[in-house]
A and B are shown apart, each in its own frame.
Chain A
Amino acid sequence: MIYIIENYWREFLYSDGYHVTGLAMTLWLLTISCAIGFCLAIPLAILRNSRNPLLWVPVWIYTFVLRGTPLYVQLLIIYTGLYSLDFIRDSAPLAAFFKQGIDCTILAFALNTGAYTTEIFAGAIRDTSFGEVDAGRSLGMSQATLYRRIIIPSALRRALPVYSNEVILMLHSTTLAFTATVPDLLKVANDAYSATYNPFAAYSTVALIYLCVSFTLIFTFRKAEQHFLAFLKP
């Protein structure tokens, strides 16, 4: 274990000299996919609660399909599947995008976490107490202002505990990135394992790093909950 840490600490943390690897890559994947998923989820969550079937049915199908299939299958479809289609290979920009493992990984992760986050936010929007909405309406707010000023801020606050779970699960899901040749933490651990034939040391080192990141995230979200959900304190 000492040998692996001495020889691979730089790869584990940030770089192998040519590429960003390890922890830095994992955190980047987590941040970018959660950011895209978040931006995707807010409008979709509003549409999900619409009364017009033309609006909510497509969103429901999206979340149903992405939550009903494993992320690994989604990643394989996007990374190996799409590139096997002729029209993708024939168009230069699409081919360039889908040839890159990291582009496909981020796309798959963002769509996946977007689906889960949409359902989380949609549930929180649905649970908005009618009093808040009535109060907003009685002040003459338009639908857009109502969402922007009342519903979304309150729903996001109430969704925070569930959303923090989703971010932790997403951190755990980033381990799949190595199957699309992205040099994340697990890829470095695989390299260390094949160089030393010591699976326990290689994988437990990386497990410790993930554990630290998980705890940091949990701690940060708990602080955020104390700040944003202070009004719920007894």
Chain B
Amino acid sequence: MFDLAGYGPQIFAGTITTVELSLLSLAVSFIIGLIGASAKLSKSRSAATIATIYTTIIRGVPDLVLMLLIFYSLQIWINDLTDWLNNLQDSIDFEVSLNPFASGVITLGFIYGAYFTETFRGAFMAVPKGQMEAARSFGMKPFLIFRRILFPQMMRYALPGLANNWQVILKATALVSLIGLSDVIKAAQNAGNGTFRTFYFMTIAGIVYLLLTTLSNGVIMLLERKYAVGVRRAAL
């Protein structure tokens, strides 16, 4: 169907990298989001303040700037840390070098964790208070309340926001090719430079992204149906 001039495997591998990167970043930011939302809603004043500073700063600064900041600085900090450890004890000598994939996951997870924090905070607040009180009166432990009562109900309110965040993460992975990851864009650029058909190959990269976003829209619709089980909709 498409004439890929021998760059098919490279583009396919790039697509896989993009999908892996987005899914891992989603997982990281999901967890950061849950922790951040709990911190924001907790009674501890300092936890709430730290979480507020985190979400305010992250959401006020462009993701590309944060990505470059974290990608270049993280390596220097890790080097300083390992130097310090090596000086501490002469017998050990180790170093950690970050590859673009790992720093992409860490950075995207850290950035979108702030957006997830806000989504989850709103969703937790939307769960009726009576649910918590009922669960407590049954003698449930906090973690059990979270797992059985809060989380499943919260997910229904959070899904539209999560779906939106997921689409943003998927599109933000395009930026990671700027810090040297061989994702689908890098593959398309290589193919374009090799064959002098940049337009054609960049369009293919665009189609790959379009397929991924359309596919995830379908999955999100299924999830929305699953978490809306037991909710009676108003007949309009």
Contacts and interface: CB of A to CB of B under 8 A. Distances in A.
B199 to A, nearest CB: 4
A71 B177 CA distance: 13
Interface string B47-81: 00000000001011111111011001100100000
Contact of A73 (B72, B174, B197): B174
A172 B214 CA distance: 24
| Chain A interface extent, by class | 35 or more
Nearest to B178: A179
Given A68-B213, A70-B171, A76-B185, A199 B60 contact: no
B172 interface: yes
B207 to A, nearest CB: 8
B214 A72 contact: no
B164 to A, nearest CB: 11
Contacts of A74: 206
B72 A203 contact: yes
Contact of A215 (B60, B66, B173, B198): B60
A72 B60 contact: no
Contact of A84 (B175, B185, B199, B209): B199
Contact of A69 (B61, B68, B206): B206
A18 interface: no
B65 A68 contact: no
A85 interface: yes
B25 interface: no
A190 B64 CA distance: 12
B210 interface: yes
A206 B199 contact: no
A203 B202 contact: no
A43 to B, nearest CB: 25
Given A73-B206, A77-B199, A204 B62 contact: no
Interface of B: 57, 59-66, 68-69, 72-73, 76, 171-175, 177-178, 185, 189, 192, 196-200, 202-203, 205-206, 209-210, 213-214
Given A81-B202, A176-B64, 13 more contacts: A76-B189, A80-B202, A81-B198, A82-B199, A84-B196, A179-B178, A199-B72, A203-B73, A204-B69, A207-B61, A207-B65, A207-B66, A211-B61
